[in-house]
Structure 1
């Protein structure tokens, strides 16, 4: 996607282990301007940062926005092992070194937030500050994600479970299901009414029922028909097998071997940090995300009246907040 949608400001790189990545890259206008590192989530690509790329580019900031592993114009291994966050963090560090970028302000959304969390764990020397959208900081636990535990906890707290879809995503059939019903899947992931996630995404079996029956909900006002077509084209490039491997790796303990002996000190974030949480995100509930505050020394929390896709739903408000936040660094 980076290469096709941003041909004049994108690059492709083959890393030492042979993995190919594509990314948007813009040098800062002056040495005093920092570079933003934008990490997208599921199921997205660097295209999800289009409103931020244009806004911050005009302000003279540097930008590096990769298509993460499994997406767009980057490689998409079918095996689960390459999707360990430690391995991908090392990839990201290598990209920064080879691009000559020493310091960045990290911005993550959704899985990009979890990735930014672990990039800080392993390569904090690159980060001036961290910004988490919708999903807050996720501390390393040295254990697989306990999906059943999250389901039970959120059922108790909110009256409905939020992680039921993880069970579908951990199956070998999920990629084929989503690929063969891509319009229905996209309709569920980017709904007009965020409340449908309470009934059709969070509960066990609900996402599979929605997608397999080819159900469609109206598109949100914050996505144009052209943007939906571009997003659909990007996801069709590689399909859903690679993107779903992020979930499989987390559930199957892909990072356990790396995190098991991690010192407690390495779990804490010491750079200025901003959480931008979404009041209408009924899966990534702000109440849950705020638990990550325990691990952060210098934290500011803001809540936006929108759904999960903060950078798409309220781009101007987000951009203004980010600019104000970084002005104080």
Structure 2
């Protein structure tokens, strides 16, 4: 595998963002540029297998540590992490690299941003490919209140809303935190013991504190790879990444301006959705409404795969995206 590159520090939308680049220069490439958007709690490094594969295939590829993460700036304040801010960061990166339009690929929170791009910056997109988290209809109520009513106060997204209470738990032992998060189901079998949180309440923080004997599943990455994540979070900690969650309500309110007759308009650009059978936080059933929300829609289901799809099933994810890009032409 090609060595992981040194990030370029790019000023965009008032913050410095570290961007990892591979492949040919945009000016000479014959294939479209691709931006890979990481989720929580990740960094651009999570896309290393995709970056190498698509660069070797002739695509200019880019993976930013998004604001609050990795080598990038982590401005203070919840309002610095709204969907408008996050999408404007990406628009600024396109401008910086002289890219009119690009393909975007996102996983987890990166997919939440991805499925917002057709509304916030439609003119800059060639296509959208989401992993694990689908495009969803506009929530009928405040999403935090909806999560609280469905899962209770201990559900991790609900707990994340209280600034300062979750950070010490996640930052106490960074290596242990990432050994907890970055897990996969044992042998791809759907057993409750393999799920790294309590399915009833999604009380992720309490399970982290209970220790490895209670986690289930198995460690996804080598200790060396896991240490890359732990080292990256020494700079900014978890406050910036958690602020993304603390904007669920404000982003939901802001999304109302895109609604037509109470619904999000149907997407017309090419869309790919990759689901993972054993992702308990984002099960494939969440994507069932997407076929009716996208005109040009492709879906690929990964059997026996957990949440961290692009790392757990890199070759299958790469093949699915490659095939989709070829179909786009």
Q: Which bin holds the TM-score, normalised by the shorter protein?
A: 0.7 to 0.9
After TM superposition, the structure 1 stretch with the greater mean CA deviation from structure 2, 221-230 or 80-89, is: 221-230
TM-score, length of structure 1 as denominator length: 0.86
Task: Map 1:1-329 to 2 at 5 A.
Answer: 6-7=5-6, 10-16=7-13, 18-26=14-22, 28=24, 30-141=28-139, 144-149=142-147, 152=150, 164-172=155-163, 173-193=165-185, 195-196=192-193, 200-204=197-201, 206-215=203-212, 217=215, 220=218, 222-250=220-248, 253-256=249-252, 258-264=254-260, 267-305=265-303, 306-329=305-328
CA distance in 1, matches of 2:251, 2:203: 28
CA distance in 2, matches of 1:44, 1:54: 18
Change (3 A) 1:100 1:196: farther
SS at match of 2:116: helix
Change (3 A) 1:186 1:147: farther
SS at match of 1:64: strand
Contact 1:181–1:214 (CA<8 Å) still a contact in 2? Answer: no
Q: Deviations over 1:63-112 (max 9, x none)?
A: 11111111011111231111111121112101101210112111010000
CA distance in 1, matches of 2:309, 2:196: 21
Change (3 A) 1:6 1:201: farther
Alpha-carbon distance, 1:189 to partner: 1.5
SS at match of 1:44: coil
SS at match of 1:72: coil
Change (3 A) 1:151 1:282: farther
Q: Unpaired runs of 5+ in structure 2?
A: 187-191
After TM superposition, the structure 1 stretch with the greater mean CA deviation from structure 2, 217-226 or 266-275, is: 217-226
SS at match of 1:270: strand
Q: Deviations over 1:148-201 (max 9, x none)?
A: 35762xx7xxxxx8x921122122200121101434432332224374475724
SS at match of 1:47: helix
Change (3 A) 1:203 1:78: farther
CA distance in 2, matches of 1:189, 1:293: 30
TM-score, length of structure 2 as denominator length: 0.86
Contact 2:196–2:216 (CA<8 Å) still a contact in 1? Answer: no
Q: Unpaired runs of 5+ in structure 1?
A: 156-160
Contact 2:181–2:196 (CA<8 Å) still a contact in 1? Answer: no
Q: Deviations over 1:210-244 (max 9, x none)?
A: 22344455784641221111121112221111111
Change (3 A) 1:199 1:63: closer
CA distance in 2, matches of 1:205, 1:315: 26
Contact 2:271–2:296 (CA<8 Å) still a contact in 1? Answer: yes
Aligned length: 314
Alpha-carbon distance, 1:142 to partner: 8.9
SS at match of 1:229: helix
CA distance in 2, matches of 1:98, 1:201: 43
